[in-house]
Structure 1
Amino acid sequence: MSGAPTSGKPDAGAARAPAFDAAFVDAFHDLLGWRRDVRRFADAPLAPALVETLLAQAHMAPSVGNSQPWRFVLVEDDARREAIRENFRKANAEALASYDGERAGLYARLKLEGLTAAPVQLAVFCDEGTCQGDGLGRRTMPEMLAYSCVCAVNTLWLAARARGVGMGWVSILDPLRAGEALEVPSGWRLVAYLCLGYPVEEHPDPELERAGWEARSGLSERIFRR
């Protein structure tokens, strides 16, 4: 076929990938270490242009079959934000009731959301009915659409942290009620409700670890060989 590269040889028309030096690799390691779930936000807005840049970078995430199933909903209306806060309050009360004794007391003291202070609130939905990608890669694992949205969320998290912006993931929500409050299409599934803003404080360790809820375990406990 005319123009096809010779087998085993690089395509002369291909773009040259950038070289990431040791300083970049070290900085990237630091970025991963300082990426934290933020729940305490300063009273300072995020510039609209910055938010647009962060969403553009999140949109660069990989997706199954190049389906790009993520749908970003910026929640700006006060009444809708209050509906989400009420959703959280109800779900959080139910979660608290599932614990007993000291664990319940500790749970009650945890700061688990930034829904009041965060200047930017973003709901990430998965369009499970998208035709883009023509189903490639998800016949046996349809959940790959949602996993692709999670890739976009993680990309957004790192992009935000690189610019000094904190992000928190609020999962203590009824997803169906959240979708109703935001009036999204019925075929969209809530993957993440995110709070973004400048953090009040910076910590290299997770807040849940500092609060005594759960410590991170070592990598060796997560690697198995077969």
Structure 2
Amino acid sequence: MSSLYDVINRRRDTRREFTGAPVPDEVLERILLAAHAAPSVGMSQPWDFVLVRSPHTLRAFREHVAAERDVFASTLTGERAQTFSRITIEGICESGLGVVVGYDPTRGGPQVLGRHAIPDAGLYSVICAIQNLWLAATAEGLGVGWVSFYREDFLRDLVGMPSHVRPVAWLCVGPVADLPEVPDLERFGWRARTSLDSVLHQETYRAR
């Protein structure tokens, strides 16, 4: 039991720590099987995984992400701008492997059990698969970095996803030199982790 909690607490969004070494095939299969074992609404399993290793594709995505990072940086001023300038979003080429996770809302047919009242339940299922992958990778000693500075249409076209499949995540995956004790965003002063008490409510929601 303690090992599960240890993995949860060691999980990090990694960037600068990637060594560039390849992920052994058997290890990659284990973490993908862990992702594929995630719970899904109506057993729809609405995820797809595109493995990207081509240096050309990695560079193209990195250039796109760098441009979007600059767009975000241009909206910041003062202390926020200074703090953000210290936070790296690299890892795309350094990891050597990108796992693009897609959401296919047509998976499972037009009547997915349990999704009729919550249309986003399928999307939540994909997030469960991503978390499974992330925890399995951590247990295997790998790092994972979730890249969020991208436009969905660009990434969809880059990896050839059909128009109805939504690219939910680009995950940089690979061996790392180490995992930081403190998450980067906390270490660089972007945000601090809140206490459980600050988000816990009893019976009904209470405004803070």
Matched, 1:142 2:116: no
CA positional deviation for 1:137: 1.1
Residue aligning to 2:69: 92
Contact 1:31–1:158 at 8 Å: present in 2 too? yes
Counterpart of 1:206 (choices 172, 183, 196) is 183
Pairing 1:35–2:8 present: no
Greater alpha carbon shift after TM alignment, 190-199 vs 131-140: 131-140
Specify which of 77, 86, 93 is matched with residue 109 of structure 1.
86
Deviations 1:86-118 (A, max 9, x none): 220111011101111121121122112311200
Of 149, 169, 181, 1:172 maps to 149
Matches of 1:84 and 1:141 in 2, distance apart?
Answer: 32
**Aligned partners of 1:130, 1:30: CA distance in 2, in Å?**
34
**TM, length-normalised to structure 1:** 0.85
For residue 58 of structure 2, what is the amino acid of its counterpart?
Answer: R
Contact 1:64 1:133 in 2 (8 A): no
Contact 2:46/2:108 (8 A) holds in 1 = no
Farther-moved stretch of structure 1 (84-93 vs 55-64): 84-93
Which of the pair has more CA radius of gyration? Answer: 1
Q: 2-side partners of 1:132 and 1:84: how far apart?
A: 32
After TM superposition, what 4+ stretches of structure 1 lie above 4 angstroms from structure 2?
A: none
Query: Does the CA contact (< 8 Å) of 2:41 and 2:115 recur in 1?
Result: yes
| 1:132 CA drift (Å) | 4.5
Alignment of 1:26 onto 2:26:
no
Q: How many residues align?
A: 202
In the TM superposition, what is the alpha-carbon distance from 1:133 to its structure 2 partner? 8.0
Partner of 2:169: 192
Worse-matched range after superposition: 41-50 or 126-135: 126-135
Distance 2:12 2:22 in 1: 20
Structure 1 residue 79 displacement after superposition: 2.4
Q: What is the rounded CA distance, in whole Å, between the counterparts of 1:67 and 1:133 in structure 2?
A: 11
Aligned to 1:59: 36
Measure, in 2, the Cα distance between the counterparts of 1:125 and 1:79. Answer: 21
- CA deviation after TM superposition for structure 1 residue 184, in Å: 0.9
Query: For the residues of structure 1 that align with 2:128 and 2:109, how far apart are their CA atoms?
Result: 17
Structure-1 residue corresponding to 2:23: 46
> Please, what is the CA RMSD of the aligned residues?
1.3
The residue identity in structure 2 corresponding to 1:212 is G
* Percent pairwise identity: 37
- Structure 2, gaps ≥5 residues long: none
Aligned partners of 1:118, 1:89: CA distance in 2, in Å?
A: 16
Gaps of 5+ in 1: 1-24
Shift of 1:172: 1.1
| Amino acid corresponding to residue 139 of structure 1 in structure 2 | H
